[in-house]
Structure 1
Amino acid sequence: MAGWYEGRDVSDTAMRAILRTVALVEPVADATAWELFPAAERALREFHGLHIPGVRPGRDVAATGCVIDPTEARHALRPFALLGEAMGSRLFPFGRTEADALLAVDDEGRLFSVDHGGRWYLGDTVREGLETLTQGRTPHRLTALRWTWTVRPVAEAQPLLSAVRTALVAVYVLHHRNVFSARDLRLTVTTLRGIGIETVDRRLRLPGGSLERSAAPLMAAMYELIEAEGATTRGAELRVTVSAPAQTTAPLSTVACAVRTGHSAKAPALTEISLSAGAGASAGRVRTMLDECAEDLARYAGQQPS
Structure 2
Amino acid sequence: MYLEPEIDLGLFKLEPQSIKGFELSVEEQNYEIKIDSPLIHYFEEKPKAVTMDQILLMDSLKSIPDITYLRKMGAEILVPLNAKGKVNGLLVLGDKMTSEEFLEDEKEFMTTLANLAGIAVDNARLYELATVDMMTGLKIHHYFQTKLKEEMDRCRKKGTKLCLLFTDVDHFKRFNDTYGHQAGDVVLIEVAKQVINAAQRHHIPARYGGEEFCLVMPGATEEEAMVKGEEIRKAVESMVVKNPNDGTDLKVTLSVGVSSFRTTDRNNKDLIERADKALYQAKHSGRNRTICYKD
Relative contact order (C-alpha < 8 Å, sep 6+): which is higher?
1
Q: Which one has a larger percent helix, Structure 1 or Structure 2?
A: 2
- Same-fold status (TM-score > 0.5): no
TM-score by length of 2: 0.29
TM-score by length of 1: 0.28
